[in-house]
Amino acid sequence: MSWEAYSELSLRELRMLHTLLQLRSITRTAETMETTQPSVSKMLRRLRAQFSDPLFVRNGQAMQPTAKALDVAGRLQVLLAAADGLRSASIEFDPAGSDRLFSLLLTDVGMIHFLPPLDRAGRCDRAENQRARGAA
């Protein structure tokens, strides 16, 4: 398959494909993903074009995955886990270890009323390396 076909894959479509592989039902996939059945069908139609494969065929009430869909399933699970890991891998802000300069755009009144308490609070919270600068 060409690079252009893969460049069009969206994370939402891949999540839908993963859910459809698990549930084998367009209706239940739509309910799980909080969308409509026509929306899932439309995404499946786009995925079929991108993979050049039917991906699923109707078998009674269930959607039976093709060999291509089953081949993609394992890699798809790894890819989605990696995407979820990117989202959850954020570094917590540690005020004690930070040396950031925070710039605040304040009015003259804000400089008088808000900046001094913020500066005192920052110094009290073990954030002695942080600095705040007000700009009017």
User: Residue 1: what pLDDT?
Assistant: 47
What is the DSSP code (8-state) at residue 126?
Answer: T
**Do 55 and 81 share a structural domain?**
yes
CA distance 95 to 92: 10
120 and 103 share one domain: yes
Q: What does the pLDDT read at residue 131?
A: 63
pLDDT tens track of the chain, all 136 residues?
455 545 678 999 999 999 999 999 999 999 999 999 999 999 999 999 999 999 999 998 899 999 999 999 999 999 999 988 887 766 777 777 777 777 778 888 888 888 788 777 766 555 556 666 666 6
Report DSSP letters for 80-98, one per residue. Answer: HHHHHHHHH-PPPP-GGG-
pLDDT at 20: 97
In this structure, are 71 and 128 located in the same domain? no
Q: Judge if 55 and 117 occupy the same domain.
A: no
111 and 65 share a domain? no
CATH number of the structural domain spanning residue 58: 1.10.10.10
Q: How many domains are there within the chain? A: 2
Q: Are residues 80 and 121 in the same domain?
A: no
Same domain, 76 and 114: no
Per-residue confidence (pLDDT) for residue 133, from 0 to 100 = 67
> Closest by alpha carbon to 18, among 93, 95, 80, 99?
80
Give strand pairing partners of 132. 102
Pairing of strands 62-65, 56-59: antiparallel
Whole-structure pTM value: 0.62
User: Domain range holding 16?
Assistant: 3-88
Q: Are residues 14 and 75 in the same domain?
A: yes
Residues 6+ apart with CB under 8 A from 7: none
| Identity of the amino acid at 73 | A
Residue 76 shares a structural domain with residue 35: yes
Q: Are 51 and 112 found together in one domain?
A: no
Q: Is there a single domain that holds both residue 29 and residue 53? A: yes
Q: Are 21 and 73 in contact (CB under 8 A)?
A: yes
Q: Verify that 40 and 65 share a domain, yes or no.
A: yes
Per residue, the 3-state secondary structure of 10-48, as one string, reads: CHHHHHHHHHHHHHCCHHHHHHHCCCCHHHHHHHHHHHH
